[in-house]
Structure 1
Amino acid sequence: MPGVTAVLTDGHTAGHSGYTLTSRGRTMRVFGDVLHSPIQIRHPEWACAADLDPVRGVVQRRQLVDELADTGDLAAGIHFADVVFGTVRRDRKGATSWVPALARPRLTEAQQGAASSIVASRLPWPGTTLPATSAHESPTTR
């Protein structure tokens, strides 16, 4: 299939594969079971109890994390709960971390009110209102 490449990522299970998706000059890595939690981005040496070959699993995780930090490519971790899509960032000390792709700063109630007023002023029907959201609720959780 054009733009899709299977990549062997054994260690977790024999023959385990991830995928590299390429389109319009951009790349996304889907890494399956190589990583089970975003904390393993910072600690790729932490094995999973289900790894058939824990040593090989660590090698695969370190290689993947380094590649993602070096390229800045978008990645997808199927076990990363509500932060499936993201990138890997390396800080000045070399530590790596997962940066969710849709991470946005939380707005204060005043900022939410101002944003709602601006959007409401542009709605095509007079009297139309937007549903209220609490300060702890994001648009993606409604």
Structure 2
Amino acid sequence: MAIHSFSVGKIRCVVVPDGGSIMPLADLAGIFPPDPDVQAGILALPDTQGFSMNCLLIESDGQLILLDTGLGTLNPAHSPALIANLREAGAAPEAIDIVVITHGHGDHMGGGVDDAGNLSFPNARYMMTRLDWDHWTGPAVNPAAERCLSPLREFITLIEPDDLIAPGVRALPALGHTPGHIGVVIESQGEKLMDVVDAMHHPLQVAHPTWSPRFDTDPVKSAETRRALLEQAAAESCRLMTYHFAFPGLGTVRAKGDSFTFDAVS
């Protein structure tokens, strides 16, 4: 695993993962509720499954935009890889103009600050939806959210789930995983990419859109969102990207009856 470069029209994109792993089936099964059909579907898979943290670097109109910052040092067992991969892509941390935090889970915002609370991307404007910011900075804030978000209070720009981020780059509402979870949609010269981030965590959810993981804030809403995004990607024949599918997390979606299939790009 290193980086994966591609373009959407004239917009340059690079998948810059913050590492990945091979997930045993027992760990994958633990993500989902103990529904017999769900567990049977998981047990029918090969023994191990690729699991990545696919951050996305976007270059649009002279601006460098980073979608999510990985886990960083939140988990001592994790070896952060994002900064090294950004440098391989030709982007120093100081060169990042905008950091979009898609939602307030540690594996998406842990790399935004270091252990001392310093910004990892000191010249960037940080963005997050108002819905998710309010949720993760409220009275029930957890230590990981406090550690990641408190240093951003003076630097955060709160956005709506469908706001324009940069020319050709717009927030994509993907609510349900968290209250204000977003992806991005990139459009240029007749080409389109939908990065749906955590609207789905495993290709099983492409075949079974109703299967929501335990940690979705609103499992019913997330299932509705997932189906709508899959229907859109299939109808428009555009590329789809996810955060946790095996690197680089890119592919295309095809409708198959009441279900869908995902054809991965290697």
- TM-score tier, shorter chain, comes to 0.5 to 0.7
Do structure 1's residue 5 and structure 2's residue 170 form an aligned pair? yes
User: Residues 82-137 of structure 1, C-alpha deviation per residue, up to 9 Å, x if partnerless?
Assistant: 3510010123x3431100123xxxxxxxxxxxxxxxxxxxxxxxxxxxxxxxxxxx
In the alignment, which residue of structure 2 is the partner of 1:95?
A: 259
Q: What does residue 75 of structure 1 align with?
A: 240
For residues 65-93 of structure 1, give each alpha carbon's deviation from its aligned partner in whole angstroms, at most 9, with x where no partner exists. 111111110011110013510010123x3
Match of 1:53 in 2: 218
Residue ranges of structure 1 left out of the alignment (5+ in a row): 103-142
Aligned to 1:39: 204
* Corresponding residue SS for 1:66: helix
Once residues 188 and 265 of structure 2 are traced to their aligned partners in structure 1, the CA distance between those partners, rounded to angstroms, is 18
Match of 2:183 among 9, 12, 18: 18
User: Does the 8 A contact of 2:209 with 2:259 survive in 1?
Assistant: no
**What corresponds to 1:122 in structure 2?**
none
**Which one has a larger percent strand, Structure 1 or Structure 2?**
2
- The separation in 2 between residues aligned to 1:2 and 1:58, in whole angstroms, is 30
- Name the CA distance, whole Å, in 1 between partners of 2:222 and 2:255: 21
Query: Retained in 2: the 8 A contact 1:76–1:86?
Result: yes
Count of residue correspondences:
101
Q: Compared with structure 1, are the counterparts of its residues 95 and 8 closer, same or farther at alpha carbon in structure 2 (3 Å cutoff)?
A: closer
Q: Is the 8 A contact 2:176 2:217 kept in 1?
A: yes
The residue matched to 1:65 in structure 2 has which SS? helix
Percent of aligned pairs with the same amino acid: 34
Q: Which moved more, 1:82-91 or 1:32-41?
A: 82-91
Shift >6 Å, 4+ stretches: none
Cα displacement string for residues 26-67 of structure 1 (whole angstroms, at most 9, x for unaligned residues): 000000110001110110100111100011011100101111
Partner letter of residue 2 of structure 1? P
Question: Scaled by the length of structure 1, what TM-score is found?
Answer: 0.67
Residues 39 and 97, structure 1, Cα contact 8 Å, conserved in 2: no
Indicate conservation of the 8 Å contact 1:21/1:28, yes or no: yes
